[in-house]
């Protein structure tokens, strides 16, 4: 059981929760994730640790209400409990020194980028690009600004910041200056195009992959991804990998395995109120 | 879990006086060596637990509290057994479990029709009634390390099992529709995906399912697939039925239920666009015996053929998870086999750290793990008493 201490609506379908999890907070590092089980009939889903406070013993999760599980989670309020929370899982991000790093966050991926950028800021130049569909769906702009030397915002519809996708300003940056590393976290399709954008420039690019997971500890292999032609388990070998080596098309196919079931579960949940 | 493991040393102790208490008739059967009439372990497990469900749990006398604390990592058969034994001896025991339910392989691996979950729940209840504290959702090596545990506990027992699935390493293995047996069984047993959408975890079941492997886990996965509505389920095994590591009884059950056996056949490549659609295989023939004593399968050149399948379950074995080994200072392990090195009493290279069950042997049986838990309980008790 993990008690929700604070709940904030960041956008109509994006929630931030601060959760009491002292054991996880004590060990958490940027780049790691937790497995969440909302209730006794719940599935196990991975969510990135968006922030943590070792002293208060809390972690922060940010999620898009996209299916039944995240909608159920979103209905819980401060004071209520999440049935199960396990972590911190996965490997911490590699934080280099004296580099110029471009962080790219798409959608709720911005929250996953934040703790990595915060830690990296201490010894690197940070340029961040965060993107969303529309102004209302943009999250953590202030936080990202506080950990970036430069922040670029894009929206698909142009309602805020630059109109367009994150890869456009990224390409301009790569043309303009020497970038040592790009770290991208967001939808698989965004990470795929970030990798395609940086590839011709030969800039090291890291993506944090978001495959389907069950146990999150190396047992099931649901999260198998192909990196440089080799099978990796995102839960224990990742979640961060060299984006130029990742087979994103395969990742997307595997992500759509349960599309029908996800739609059905969501429909029944929404209809059931 | 292999049939051959049934007769491995010390198992009678585990059954007779371990967590599966009050069951004696098994003893003679356990003497049976591999190759003779198979021991009905599945039925045995059910019998013991059914007996107790009907007759009620007897909580044995506990020794006076010793003031010593023991952390047991993993709540599978080894962990539950040792926790019960140490609690009876008066030690304060805490079990740490990665998953959200205790029971280890008993809840995630073995299907309901072989081991009903209410039986495992009764076992867990028994252990709790002995005063054992069970903490789920704690992954040792991540949430806490063994060294963290040693600051709070006087001894640590590692019973982390063999939870890492082996894969074939052939092209197309990561196509959608291809599962490890672990994933398939975890979704069904632990997550109750058979009851989707009442339960949230989904599962796919194909029309034509191939299960790769010839062990008990392969039989379990095949029978689950059939129960969930697959039209045709085939066990695909590279040697002949004679060499299958599954217990005879499990093979017979699978056959009775209508599982096809495609033996002397090895997949070489999976085919498909969006998901798996077929499996290219090669025929095998048996050559000279290998180090396991079984005749080695040799590919028959030019015998390739394609099987039409829309789901594949890979059940070619499991290894221990290396997480605890890699995060524990001074714990010796066999890198090649991926197992913790421990003596017959479960003593490891690290002071105060003991291990037993699949994590020290590689994938074996529930009974063997219980025996290991029982022996390590003796060793830990002696260690705590300073003997």
- B173 and B312 both lie in a single domain: yes
CB B127 within 8 A of CB B121: no
What does the pLDDT read at residue B315? 98
pLDDT in tens, B276-293: 999 999 999 999 888 888
pTM for this predicted structure: 0.91
User: Do residues B325 and B293 both lie within one domain?
Assistant: no
The number of distinct structural domains making up chain B is 2
Q: Residue B367 is part of a domain; what is its CATH number?
A: 3.50.50.60
Residues 65-124 of B with CB under 8 A from A: 98-100, 108
Q: Do A258 and B138 touch (CB under 8 A)?
A: no
Q: pLDDT tens, A17-67?
A: 999 999 999 999 999 999 999 999 999 999 999 999 999 999 999 999 999
Of B316, B339, B357, which marks where a domain is finished?
B316
Give the pLDDT confidence score for residue B15 in this predicted structure: 32
**Higher per-residue confidence, A121 vs B52:** A121
pLDDT score of B25 = 32
Is position B35 within any domain? Answer: no
Tens-place pLDDT, residues A208-266? 999 999 999 999 999 999 999 999 999 999 999 999 999 999 999 999 999 999 999 99
Residues of A with CB under 8 A from a CB of B: 23-24, 27, 37-38, 41-44, 68-69, 83-89, 214-215, 217-222, 224-226, 231, 236, 250, 253-254, 256-258, 261-262, 264-265, 268
Q: Is residue B42 part of a domain?
A: no
Mean pLDDT of A170-194: 97
What residue of B is the nearest CA neighbor of A28? B143
CB pairs under 8 A between A and B: 116
Report the residue from A84, A221, A268 with minimal CB separation from B137.
A84
Shared-domain flag, residues B311 and B171? yes
Domain extent listing, chain A: 2-89, 100-255
Q: Are B277 and B207 members of one domain? A: yes
Q: Where are the alpha helices (DSSP H) in B153-191?
A: 181-185
B266 and B159 in a common domain: no
Rounded to the nearest 10 degrees, what angle do helices B216-227 and B248-256 cross at?
20
Residues spanned by the domain of B107: 65-163+319-384
Q: Which residues pair with A15 in a beta bridge?
A: A9, A63
Contact residues on chain A for B104, CB-CB shorter than 8 A: none
B121: its two tokens? 């729940």
Percentage above 70 pLDDT, chain B: 85
Residue B18, in any domain of the structure = no
CATH 2.40.30.10 is held by the domain A2-89: yes
| CATH of the domain spanning A100-255 | 3.40.50.80
Residues with pLDDT less than 70, chain B? 1-58
Domain assignment present for residue B312? The answer is yes
Residues B131 and B208 in one domain: no
Condensed to tens digits (0 to 9), the pLDDT of residues A136-172 reads 999 999 999 999 999 999 999 999 999 999 999 999 9
Encode pLDDT of B208-221 as tens digits.
999 999 999 999 99
Contact A35, A60 (CB under 8 A): no
Q: Is B151 on the interface with A (CB under 8 A)?
A: no
What is the reported pLDDT for B4? 29
Residues B329 and B83: their CA atoms lie apart, in Å, by 24
**Is B4 domain-assigned?**
no
Strand B232-236 relative to strand B318-319, pairing: unpaired
Can you state the angle between helices B117-129 and B41-55, rounded to 10 degrees? 60
Tell whether B218 and B124 lie within a shared domain. Answer: no
Q: Tell me what pLDDT residue B293 has.
A: 83
């Amino acid at each position: 059981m993990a008690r929700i201490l604070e709940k904030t609506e960041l956008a109509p379908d994006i929630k931030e929760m601060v959760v009491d999890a002292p054991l996880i907070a004590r060990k958490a590092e940027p780049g790691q994730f937790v497995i969440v089980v909302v209730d006794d009939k719940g599935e196990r889903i991975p969510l990135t640790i968006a922030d943590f406070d070792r002293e208060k013993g809390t972690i922060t999760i940010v999620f898009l209400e996209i299916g039944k599980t995240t909608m159920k989670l979103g209905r819980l309020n401060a004071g209520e409990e999440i049935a199960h929370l396990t972590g911190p899982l996965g490997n911490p991000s590699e934080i280099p020194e004296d580099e110029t790093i471009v962080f790219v966050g798409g959608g709720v991926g911005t929250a996953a980028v934040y703790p990595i950028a915060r830690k990296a800021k201490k010894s690197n130049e940070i340029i961040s690009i965060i993107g969303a569909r529309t102004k209302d769906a943009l999250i953590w702009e202030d936080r990202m600004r506080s950990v970036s030397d430069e922040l670029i915002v894009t929206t698909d519809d142009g309602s805020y910041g630059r109109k367009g996708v994150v890869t456009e300003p990224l390409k301009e940056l790569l043309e303009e200056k020497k970038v040592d590393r790009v770290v991208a976290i967001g939808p698989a399709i965004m990470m795929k195009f970030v990798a395609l954008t940086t590839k011709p420039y030969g800039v090291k690019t890291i993506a944090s992959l978001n495959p389907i997971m069950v146990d999150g500890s190396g047992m099931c292999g649901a999260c198998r991804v192909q990196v440089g032609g080799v099978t990796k388990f995102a839960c224990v070998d990742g979640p961060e990998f060299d984006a130029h080596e990742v087979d994103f098309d395969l990742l997307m196919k595997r992500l759509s395995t349960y599309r029908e079931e996800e739609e059905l579960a969501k429909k029944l949940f929404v209809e059931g109120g | 879990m292999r049939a051959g493991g049934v007769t491995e040393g010390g198992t009678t102790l585990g059954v007779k006086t371990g967590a599966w208490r009050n069951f004696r008739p098994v003893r003679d059967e356990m003497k049976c060596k591999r190759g003779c009439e198979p021991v009905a372990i599945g039925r045995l497990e059910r019998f013991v637990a059914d007996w107790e469900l009907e007759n009620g749990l007897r909580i044995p006398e506990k020794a006076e509290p010793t003031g010593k604390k023991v952390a047991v990592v993993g709540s599978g058969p080894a962990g539950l057994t040792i926790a019960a034994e140490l609690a009876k001896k008066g030690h304060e025991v805490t079990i740490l479990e990665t998953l959200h339910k205790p029971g280890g392989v008993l809840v995630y691996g073995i299907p309901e029709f072989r081991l009903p979950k209410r039986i495992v729940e009764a076992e867990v209840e028994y252990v709790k009634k002995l005063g054992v504290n069970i903490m789920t959702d704690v992954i040792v090596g991540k949430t806490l390390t063994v060294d963290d545990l040693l600051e709070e506990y006087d001894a640590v027992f590692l019973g982390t099992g063999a939870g890492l699935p082996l894969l074939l390493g052939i092209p197309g293995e990561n196509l959608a529709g291809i599962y490890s047996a672990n994933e398939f069984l975890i979704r069904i047993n632990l997550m109750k995906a058979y009851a989707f959408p009442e339960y949230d975890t989904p599962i796919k079941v194909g029309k034509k399912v191939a299960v790769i492997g010839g062990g008990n886990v392969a039989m379990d996965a095949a029978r689950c697939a059939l129960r969930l509505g697959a039209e045709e389920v085939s066990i695909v095994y590279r040697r002949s039925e004679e060499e299958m590591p599954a217990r005879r009884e499990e093979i017979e059950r699978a056959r009775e239920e209508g599982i096809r056996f495609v033996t002397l056949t090895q997949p070489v490549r999976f085919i498909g666009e969006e998901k798996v659609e077929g499996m290219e295989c090669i025929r095998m023939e048996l050559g000279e015996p290998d180090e396991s004593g079984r005749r080695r399968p040799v590919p028959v050149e030019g015998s390739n053929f394609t099987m039409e399948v829309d789901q594949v379950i890979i059940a070619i074995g499991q290894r221990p998870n290396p997480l605890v080994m890699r995060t524990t200072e001074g714990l010796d392990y066999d890198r090649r086999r991926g197992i913790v090195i421990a003596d017959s009493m479960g003593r490891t290279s690290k002071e105060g750290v003991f291990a037993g069950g699949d994590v020290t042997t590689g994938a074996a049986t529930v009974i063997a793990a219980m025996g290991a838990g029982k022996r390590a309980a003796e060793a830990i008790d002696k260690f705590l008493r300073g003997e």
